[in-house]
Amino acid sequence: EADIYQTPRYLVIGTGKKITLECSQTMGHDKMYWYQQDPGMELHLIHYSYGVNSTEKGDLSSESTVSRIRTEHFPLTLESARPSHTSQYLCASSDQGDYYGYTFGSGTRLTVV
Amino acid sequence: GESVGLHLPTLSVQEGDNSIINCAYSNSASDYFIWYKQESGKGPQFIIDIRSNMDKRQGQRVTVLLNKTVKHLSLQIAATQPGDSAVYFCAEHPGGFKTIFGAGTRLFVKA
């Protein structure tokens, strides 16, 4: 049973549209992350948050933005989708401290046409 | 640059055999390592972790070995089952917010 939820699971959208990918967790974790992953490939960190009102960009340059108004909610927004944004987007959370693994959501597979 | 790499992109094993998935890491400062399993259509799932003050840790049917001298990490799966078929990622934690994931090894289990 998932403790971190992502919606939608699949999304096909036209170029130029604005989209928001939702991520919510029920574990009370302070740390949350967004990763981009092409099928079978490594994960690239695009945004992370240490807590409410804390957001930072990750290693991968991204045209997306995030917000963290509530502990449990960490949505990712693309203001103007492009075909190059086609990918899988994974949300994760972890407990405080340095020695905890991540709990991942099932991902949103985005296709921009 | 920092990287976590896997020696083989795919591994095929017979059901019931043991599997060994290898991983090389590059950051000597990394003090925490995790193995994840990702099944098709799902997010990665935590399998087992190990801190740098240990060289071996066992779970249920899985064992992680850490060799800090050569910066090598391995995941051993005993009596591999069809349900073990997935992509396996190693990840290292060099401190701060960073967790570095490798490219993944796809494990195929032949019946």
Domain that holds residue B82: 4-110
Helix (H/G/I), strand (E/B), else coil: B83: helix
Q: Is A48 on the interface with B (CB under 8 A)?
A: yes
The residue that leads in pLDDT, B102 or A44, is A44
Beta strands in chain B (DSSP E): 4-6, 10-14, 19-25, 32-38, 45-51, 56-58, 62-67, 72-77, 86-95, 98-101, 105-110
A-chain residues near B49 (CB < 8 A): 99, 101
CATH number at residue B25: 2.60.40.10
The lowest-confidence range among A19-28, B12-21, B42-51, B90-99 is: B90-99
pLDDT tens, B37-57? 999 889 999 999 999 999 999
If one counts the domains in chain B, the total is 1
Work out the widest C-alpha separation in chain A, in whole angstroms. Answer: 41
Q: Is B51 on the interface with A (CB under 8 A)?
A: yes
CA distance B18 to chain A (A): 23
Domain topology for A4-112: Immunoglobulin-like (2.60.40)
Among B95, B97, B90, B38, residue whose Cα is nearest residue A59: B97
